[in-house]
Amino acid sequence: MVAERWKCWITCVMVISLAGVFSAADSLAQDRYPARQITILIGTAAGGGQDVMTRILANQLRQVIGQQVIVENRTGANGVIAAGLLVKAKPDGHTLIVNGAQWNALTYQFYKPLPFDPNKELIAVAGIAAGPNVLVVGPTLPVSSIEELVGYAKKHPGKLSFASSGVGSGQHLAGEFFNYLADTNILHVPFKGSAEYLSQVSNGQVAMAMASIIGTGPMIAAGKLKALAVTTAGRVDSLPNVPAVSEFKPLAEFRHVNWVLLFGHASTPTPVVEAINKAVGAALADPTVAKAMRERGNDPAVMTAAEVQDLVNKEGARVIKLIASRNIQIER
């Protein structure tokens, strides 16, 4: 009987000891993060605002973490394809994705049925950048201001169109909100990204678009696009002579900030999330990174993981409330 008790006791001690070994091994693995190359997925095409901001970060992040950081554009279904790859990846922080602050909520709202729930299976881990979009039109459209654009659209209902990076994207919602406030009927035309649709705006196939300063800047300078307004609350230093949309009184409520945020798998261990956040913050603190972003009309967005997730939660709630309260209809 005593022997049996000793045998049971020894077995219990071994189980507890092994549990401690595995726990220590898990901790050690997390301490070594990153153990290999990091892949950052982007659901929009190369050359757009998210793409450029992410690549600026990635160049410095390689120096901070001592590992390769690869940026891959996986376009399609407004980022659902890219996010699906993250959801299927091992939740160890070596696969990440870049999205906007409203992406989770809008995708869940407009892309049902989904193979995953972005609100439950993605977690915000770090901020990258924040900046305005610019409302641009083609050089042949006979308008030079937001007021003239609204007047022209009312005289030609259903004849003008606006481009976005996909159904349910932030630009799509911004365009619909513009329609609501201005009482216009400018039709939506979805594309895979700004690099694709800006050429269509320039040649007059699409009337207008709201895109990043990065994507529009060279074309504005070359006269291929006309900048009518920026989408933030006030004017921005990079385009000081371009008014804000909200300066036109009927559109005083209009805002659209172009957030660039980093997400991981929701099951990523907390120490790894904290390590990613710390590394990104260190990369953004580099003066050359901050300068490169600001030259392209964006500010570095240094935030804790909790702050980024709070932003995502609040922006998601805001846009869903906006859709319901304004009765904005978005059809796929």
Q: Any idea where the domains of the chain sit in the sequence?
A: 35-130+258-326, 132-251
Average pLDDT of the chain, as a whole number: 88
35-130+258-326 has which CATH code? Answer: 3.40.190.150
For residue 23, name the pLDDT band (cuts at 50, 70, 90).
very low
Q: How much is the pLDDT for 213? A: 85
Residue 24: how many other CB atoms lie within 10 Å: 10
∠ CA(314), CA(315), CA(317), 5° rounding?
65
CA 213 to CA 35: how far, in whole Å? 36
pLDDT digits (tens, 9 = 90+) for 188-201: 999 888 888 999 99
pLDDT digits (tens, 9 = 90+) for 34-50: 999 999 999 988 888 89
Render the burial of 191-229: b for 16+ CB within 10 Å, e for the rest.
Answer: bbbbbbbbebbbeeebbbbbbbbbbbbebbeeebbbbbb
For residue 288, name the pLDDT band (cuts at 50, 70, 90).
very high
Q: What percent of the chain has pLDDT over 90?
A: 67
Q: How much is the pLDDT for 244? A: 95
Q: Which residues contact 104 (CB under 8 A, 6 or more apart)?
A: 118, 119, 122, 312, 316
Of residues 239 and 288, the one with the higher pLDDT is 288
- pTM score, whole prediction: 0.76
pLDDT digits (tens, 9 = 90+) for 185-232: 999 999 888 888 999 999 999 999 999 887 898 999 999 999 999 998
- Do the two domains 35-130+258-326 and 132-251 of this chain adopt the same fold? yes
Mean pLDDT to the nearest integer, 72-78: 90
pLDDT at 104 over 70: yes
**What would be the CATH architecture of the domain defined by 132-251?**
3-Layer(aba) Sandwich (3.40)
pLDDT digits (tens, 9 = 90+) for 260-285: 999 999 999 999 999 999 999 999 99
